Structure 1
Amino acid sequence: MRKKLRIVARVHAMPPEHNAGAEHMLTVMLQALVERGHDVQVWLSQYGGLREPYTYQGVQVIPQAARLDFAAVARRADILMSHLECVPTTASIARGFGRPMVVICHNDHRPTLRDMAAGGTALGVYNSQWMRAEAELFLAEYPSAVRPVREIIVRPPVHAERYATKPGGAITLINCSVDKGALLFGELARRMPDQQFLAVRGAYGEQVIPDLPNVEVVDHVAGEEMAARVYRQTRVLLMPSVYESWGRAGVEAMASGIPVLAHPTPGLCESLGDAGLFADRADPDAWQSMLERLLNEPAEYRLASKRARSRSAELDPRPDLEAWCAAVEEVARA
């Protein structure tokens, strides 16, 4: 019989308070541990206005203002987990109490890798092959003693059946910040006045929304509502991001056979694979040309849609989540 683990995670925010890809990835990963019978608590470090604990998709969430005894709970945990800016403090507590520490890396920024390599990390988790390669280069400069004891790749899990829908007719951008491609989005909408565009406000970053009659604006959308409120209206998804370590929105869209046009970041190239349509975000002519070909040539759209569905099937998250749960249980046994 599998031992029930007490798992405590420390993060800055989590749905439904937030809606970033990193939080969605962590939520699904923790949910998988709950489904294996483990007790999982997430403690938030960022004040979000909530004062009472709640349960989100089976995971117990403790808002920052709800309780003051995180260190006491961490001391009784079997495993501590964290990501992003919460790693240094959580890792310090883990070392102080002699608890194994799991660090989840969502980007290759130097603070992320440096915090993971501070010593005492029992399991390092990367969200892509290229991220693991970048970590190898970074860790080559460090003594072997500070490397994670174990490492694993868990691609951001997307259960296709939760996002699959019949596509609509709009060209969509999710998160209208400059870094996500808002300026290119606006330029394309101006160039193609007869085409409907859909702008979805993001949960972070300054939103730059073009004031044009062919641009519909949708306020921030919770993850579980994306299929009904966004992908059901979308014909083509744009991802002209300056940086993406993976690109969860693109994988979600492909579940419905929606073609994805993207700037070739390492993460987007890996996640979209041969289904991706790539052009430099500084070349609006190339983006307009690809869009017009997709929209005006039905055979091209059908082929792109078929590739998207095929890639979605390849990214079935179940094997990664099974390996993730097994790795966490192995850490606990060790």
Structure 2
Amino acid sequence: MAAAVPASAPGGTATPLRIVVRVHAMPPEHNAGAEHMLISMLRPLAERGHHIQVWLSRYGKARDAYTYRGIEVVPLEARLDFATAVRKAHVLISHLENVPSTTALARGYGKPVIVVCHNTHIATFRNMAAGGTALAVYNSEWMAREAELFYAEYPKGVRPASELIVRPPVFAEEYATKPGKKITLVNCNPEKGGRVLEQLARRMPDVEFMAVRGAYGQQILPDLPNVEVVEHVDGQDMRERVYAGTRVLLMPSSYESWGRAGIEALASGIPVVAHPTSGLTESLGEAGIFVDRSDIDGYEAVLRKLLTAPEYRLASKRAKARSAELDPAPELAAWCQAVEALA
């Protein structure tokens, strides 16, 4: 693992870079952790004076280019020439399904490409191995270890030229609010814990729950009097529409490489009760309250305890402390320097 690049002066490089990003979808239409991690990483680059364009590869509702949190987004419907943008770029960035096509174009035009990794699936590492990645960004220490194991089994010369860990940046001041009364699950598909929420709501009719429709997957949205169903929420509205109504956040996910929603909740001192995935145990640290997702009795017992004032105060204090530990500023400074070093 390459050492993190030291932080530079706030102004960035003397010459602004043209940074072209290729992804399948973006907010406000598509709100998932991967996209909001990327936005949080692009914002400081824009603040340093670099010109950033995000090009989408899937059809959606938007037909014209738009700006989201200071970042220009070009929908596929705009029918502009992505290859021309690549040719003029200094640096390319991609993630998930667009890595193979973006790295192919990067090789053709002689451009460095950065791959942001959001999971430990074999395809994530294999796509980089085939593409000549200039910089791989891992979202956690455990993902970096998994990458090391993968590349140890591949021929020499295929791993990324350099690597960096950037944990999904959460700017706490943009999420912090006074917690509400509900027990909340964000993205109610089965893998994220939709059935766990449903079972708990049936077992605890005296407690209010919130079920937030996710960006992907089949959604289990209980039709129960103690469950408020909230439709898909733009990331920049999560504070008002979700966390301001939440007392405890559920994360009984079968897989999380990190778990951004949990870190967003910690900013308000909202305790997180989670299944102990490798990503969640790393991200939540000592603030996490871990219960196996198959143990519904355990979840109910923990939630009942958290609904008492003394237990809640202690858990909330730990949550705020962990939020402070995850200040993204140092890693974002290293990230900006690493991008600028490729030009």
Partner of 1:280: 292
Q: Does 1:312 align with 2:306?
A: no
**Amino acid of the residue matched to residue 279 of structure 1?**
V
Q: Does 1:82 align with 2:94?
A: yes
- Counterpart of 2:246 (choices 222, 234, 237) is 234
1:49 CA drift (Å): 2.4
Distance 2:153 2:84 in 1: 35
Distance 1:182 1:63 in 2: 31
Partner of 1:5: 17
Matches within 5 A, 1:192-207: 192-207=204-219
Q: Tell me the TM-score normalised to structure 1 length.
A: 0.98
1:290 CA drift (Å): 0.5
Partner of 2:277: 265
**Amino acid of the residue matched to residue 309 of structure 1?**
K
What residue ranges of structure 1 are gaps of 5+ in the alignment?
A: none
Asked whether the equivalents of residues 175 and 239 of structure 2 are also in contact (C-alpha less than 8 Å), the reply is: yes
Distance 1:200 1:26 in 2: 22
**Amino acid of the residue matched to residue 68 of structure 2?**
Y
Distance 1:118 1:314 in 2: 36
Matches within 5 A, 1:134-283: 134-283=146-295
Partner of 1:292: 304
Q: Tell me the TM-score normalised to structure 2 length.
A: 0.95
Distance 1:78 1:89 in 2: 17
Partner of 1:95: 107
Per-residue CA deviations over 1:172-212 (Å, capped at 9, x if unaligned) read 01111111101111111111110011111111111111121
Aligned to 1:16, the other structure's residue is in SS state coil
Q: Does 1:14 align with 2:26?
A: yes
Larger RCO (alpha carbons 8 Å, 6+ apart): 2
What residue ranges of structure 2 are gaps of 5+ in the alignment?
A: 1-12
Distance 1:98 1:129 in 2: 30
Partner of 1:324: 335
The 4+ residue runs of structure 1 with deviation greater than 6 A are none
**Number of aligned pairs?**
331
Matches within 5 A, 1:11-160: 11-160=23-172
Asked whether the equivalents of residues 100 and 131 of structure 2 are also in contact (C-alpha less than 8 Å), the reply is: no
RMSD between aligned alpha carbons? 0.9
Distance 1:292 1:107 in 2: 33
After alignment, is 204-213 or 152-161 more displaced?
A: 204-213
1:2 CA drift (Å): 2.0
Distance 1:184 1:49 in 2: 32
Asked whether the equivalents of residues 202 and 220 of structure 1 are also in contact (C-alpha less than 8 Å), the reply is: yes
Aligned to 1:48, the other structure's residue is in SS state coil
Distance 2:102 2:57 in 1: 11
